[in-house]
Structure 1
Amino acid sequence: MKDEIFKKPISKQFEFDEEVATVFDDMIGRSVPFYKENLALVRDLVIKNLQEDATIYDLGCSTGTLLIEIAKKSDKNLYLKGIDNSAAMLQRAKNKAKAFGVDIEFIYADILEYDFSLANCFIANYTLQFIRPLKREKFVKKIYEKLEDEGVFIFSEKIITEDKRLNKQLIDIYYDFKREQGYSDYEIAQKREALENVLIPYTLKENEEMLLQTGFRFVEPIFRWANFATFFARK
């Protein structure tokens, strides 16, 4: 279903409710540059870095697309677990997984409170940015502690740039991208207002430093387009 949520005046801050879940796959594909290509990059890196019987958590898994893609492509036995605090998103994820005939455990929970088992990989695609800064580093530390040695953490984020002029230029270019995807200026402004104080991005450097200070021995940005980036970290 096509995303037309912000064609009408907003009445609340952005949340992943039933209305958003209904159009989410279209929304993220039209709102995140190179979304499909980046998803394939993360999928392939996950598969290359994991052995038989590895456990993978997708934090804020939404409609389950990434885990489904991993399950479809990998020839290994993997324990795939998707966690989200949106029941509407998880229902769509379960329906999609069933349609593709893949075995994925979807868990309705708050990732900040959930007690993870030891895992070989954590994924967080555009999830950390919704965690308040005071809690974000503590949560990344929790991920680090629940990773097996040599385990990997791969995450994508919207980012900001320290140079204010460049930051404004990158945002303008991003809005041009959204217009090319069919969003109007009104829709762009409405969503920007709905996300105010809900999505709080870090700079590229701040994300890297957060990981290193948490204990990860290796951190590398593996993708960037303007104000979007993906990071790979190994314990």
Structure 2
Amino acid sequence: MQKKQNNRDSLFDVEQISEDFIFNERVAQVFDDMLDRSIPFYREVIHSIARILDTTLEDNSQIVDLGCATGTTLLQLSSLLEKRDFQYTGIDNSSAMLDKAQLKAELFSKQECLKFIQGDIMNMEQPCASAFILNYTLQFIRPINREKLLKQIYTNLAPDGICILSEKIISHHPNLNRKYIDMYHTFKKERGYSELEIAKKREALENILIPCSLEENKAMLQSAGFVEVEPFFQWFNFVSFIAVKPLT
């Protein structure tokens, strides 16, 4: 019971914050709880991704999660798709996150199909990957570098490969954008976050997480070379896309 309490996200239950949001050891310890309580329909999105991968990819496919954090997405996918012969690779620049990911892989006996690599996703090379996943990762990349990363993903994908992109978004209609933010804050309060925690986390993320609109994300994917680009999930200011690389 004490272990569960220690892993509950209370990082911003303080009057003052001393730094911007960093994916360090403190964040790694509570990250799974943070995801469950901060990302609407997080697990449902993973289930949807599993359905896409299952119906799209052949056996022996390589699935790469960029910004894999503590490995939750790959661990769940490997369980949901345990009858498929897929190989999973997670890449992240945070050693604290990857230490926890590796520990979880060992705990659930997934070492054979999961591997984790520490590195900068901007410099990754995974030629002929069948699928790339960016779950709430692109929003932490400087906007000027986002299209470059998407083009690199496109280049590394095998023909007919897919990119899954999930992001927090903004609306360029101010009234709707305000309503969506208010709905999201209500969502977080319903999951136990206080007004103080919501405000302080938003302050810590202000210069770190910079969202684009749905249209801007779709345009970046198309500019990178993807022709088939469609959202498969949206909850107010959160959206998930599938983008397919043409065969030729």
TM category, shorter = over 0.9
CA deviations on 1:156-187 (whole Å, 9 max, x unpaired) are: 00000010111011001100111111111110
Aligned pair 1:143/2:150, yes or no? Answer: no
> How far has the Cα of 1:43 moved from its partner?
2.0
Aligned pair 1:227/2:237, yes or no? Answer: yes
Q: 1:118 touches 1:148 (CA, 8 Å); kept in 2? A: yes
The 3-state SS of whatever aligns with 2:241 is strand
Aligned pair 1:169/2:179, yes or no? Answer: yes
> How far has the Cα of 1:73 moved from its partner?
2.6
Structure 1: state its 5+ residue gaps.
none
Given candidates 42, 47, 62, the residue that maps to 2:49 is 42
- Aligned match of 2:98: 90
Aligned pair 1:3/2:12, yes or no? Answer: no
The 3-state SS of whatever aligns with 2:193 is coil
Q: 1:43 touches 1:66 (CA, 8 Å); kept in 2? A: no
Distance (whole Å) between structure 2 residues aligned to residue 148 and residue 217 of structure 1: 15
> How far has the Cα of 1:69 moved from its partner?
1.7
- Aligned match of 2:108: 100
- Aligned match of 1:31: 38
> How far has the Cα of 1:44 moved from its partner?
2.1
TM-score norm. by structure 1 comes to 0.98
Q: 2:128 touches 2:157 (CA, 8 Å); kept in 1? A: yes
Q: 1:47 touches 1:70 (CA, 8 Å); kept in 2? A: no
Q: 1:12 touches 1:194 (CA, 8 Å); kept in 2? A: yes
Amino acid of the residue matched to residue 7 of structure 1? Answer: D
Q: 2:127 touches 2:158 (CA, 8 Å); kept in 1? A: no
Q: 1:57 touches 1:121 (CA, 8 Å); kept in 2? A: yes
Aligned pair 1:182/2:192, yes or no? Answer: yes
Distance (whole Å) between structure 2 residues aligned to residue 191 and residue 107 of structure 1: 28
> How far has the Cα of 1:114 moved from its partner?
2.1
> How far has the Cα of 1:50 moved from its partner?
1.0
List structure 1 segments (4+ residues) > 3 angstroms apart after TM superposition: none
Distance (whole Å) between structure 1 residues aligned to residue 59 and residue 183 of structure 2: 42
CA deviations on 1:97-136 (whole Å, 9 max, x unpaired) are: 1111113010011101222232010000000000111100
Q: How does 1:119-130 map to 2 (within 5 A)?
A: 119-130=129-140
Distance (whole Å) between structure 2 residues aligned to residue 73 and residue 224 of structure 1: 22
C-alpha RMSD of the superposition: 0.9
Aligned residue pairs, count: 235
> How far has the Cα of 1:198 moved from its partner?
0.6
Distance (whole Å) between structure 2 residues aligned to residue 168 and residue 73 of structure 1: 36
TM-score norm. by structure 2 comes to 0.93
The 3-state SS of whatever aligns with 1:14 is coil
The 3-state SS of whatever aligns with 1:155 is strand
